[in-house]
Amino acid sequence: MTERKNKKSAYARGISFILTFFLAVLVLSLLFLIQLNLGLGSSQNLKNSINNSDYTQEAYREVLAKSKAYIKERSMPAKIVTKAVTKERFYVDSSKSIKAALGGQSCQVDTTDLEKSLRRNINQYFNEHGIIKDDDIIIAREEIVQTVSGYYKSCVQFRFGEFFYPLHKNLDRVSPIAIPLLAVLTGLTSLVLIKIQKFRHRGFRYLSYGLFSAILANLVIWVKLFFFDRVNKGVETAYYLEFSNDYLRSGMYAAAVITTVGIVLFLITALFANRHKFAGKVS
């Protein structure tokens, strides 16, 4: 009879450890999805980071400075650039690019009008100075147009969108189904873990093991993301660094809040797992 009880007890422990591992995976997945939705995958957080860092204004200053420096090297007046690369034009195109990223879409910047304006300004300069537009002059003009257009595209294109819109799009598709499903499976697994134990506090002990494992794995993942896989690695532009750091901080805040909630739940389950000791009972 004792041998049978031992086998049954060993079987229950084996099932409990398997369920605990499954619970840890479920909780980790649930925590991670919630943190992404509230932090790095949030359109509102991205928008706030753009506004906080004056991203658009600083990007415009960069393209204007680069273009004016280049046109000066070609011994031509800065007005050729300033009359084409206007703040209004840049803000409209930048807004389109950012809006596309916020909506989880890709946006290609159309510089056709900008290039027409640049050619018109250059042609006007040639006419004013009596420069004959032969083949070499036309080639030089196109080189100027394409170079300035390239500067414009590189600054107006919301480069961070290449990281954000796939994340945002995938979260929008997965989260409405995955989060409720994970929550239900977590609840059912927790209930089964408690029910199959002879003593309820043992069930809570396994729950605390699962929660602790999930929280620890979650912390390891976020530390790796924030300190080793930074999305702004190799970026030297000050305004872009300021924006991306602000965005990463919003993700860290969300992760910290959700992780704190997880730690509180772990402490509660650990308390229930050990309350028999306070009552003088033996496990």
Rounded-to-integer distance, Cα 56 and Cα 95, Å = 8
Domain boundary among 156, 189, 217: 156
In a domain, 237, yes or no: yes
Question: Model confidence at 282, in pLDDT bands (50, 70, 90)?
Answer: very low
In a domain, 114, yes or no: yes
Q: Total domain count for the chain?
A: 2
In a domain, 210, yes or no: yes
Amino acid 134: pLDDT: 80
Q: pLDDT per residue over 150-189, tens digit each? A: 999 989 988 787 778 788 888 888 999 999 999 999 999 9
Can you tell me the mean pLDDT for 20-33? 94
280 three-state secondary structure? coil
Do 44 and 69 belong together in one domain? no
Q: pLDDT per residue over 66-118, tens digit each? A: 999 999 998 889 999 999 999 999 999 999 888 887 776 666 788 899 999 99
Give the global pTM.
Answer: 0.75
- Write the DSSP string, 62-129: HHHHHHHHHHHHTT--THHHHTTS-HHHHHHHHHHHHHHHHTT-------HHHHHHHHHHHHHHHHHT
Do 60 and 44 belong together in one domain? no
Amino acid 25: pLDDT: 96
Q: Which two tokens stand for residue 89?
A: 């034009």
Do 88 and 150 belong together in one domain? yes
In a domain, 283, yes or no: no
Rounded-to-integer distance, Cα 269 and Cα 259, Å = 15
Domain range for 70 is: 55-156
In a domain, 220, yes or no: yes
Do 129 and 175 belong together in one domain? no
**What sign does the CA torsion over 121, 123, 127, 132 have?**
positive
In a domain, 8, yes or no: yes
Amino acid 187: pLDDT: 93
Question: Model confidence at 62, in pLDDT bands (50, 70, 90)?
Answer: very high
Amino acid 106: pLDDT: 66
Do 151 and 184 belong together in one domain? no
Rounded-to-integer distance, Cα 251 and Cα 222, Å = 9
Q: pLDDT per residue over 174-227, tens digit each? A: 999 999 999 999 999 999 988 887 777 788 888 999 999 999 999 998 888 777
Do 39 and 135 belong together in one domain? no
Answer whether residue 275 shows pLDDT above 50. yes
CB neighbourhood size of 81 (10 A)? 26
Rounded-to-integer distance, Cα 66 and Cα 163, Å = 25
Rounded-to-integer distance, Cα 132 and Cα 221, Å = 63
Do 188 and 232 belong together in one domain? yes
Do 152 and 18 belong together in one domain? no
Domain boundary among 131, 156, 181: 156
Output the average pLDDT for the chain.
85
Do 59 and 41 belong together in one domain? no
Can you tell me the mean pLDDT for 38-58? 88
Angle formed by the axes of helices 55-73 and 238-278, nearest 10°: 150
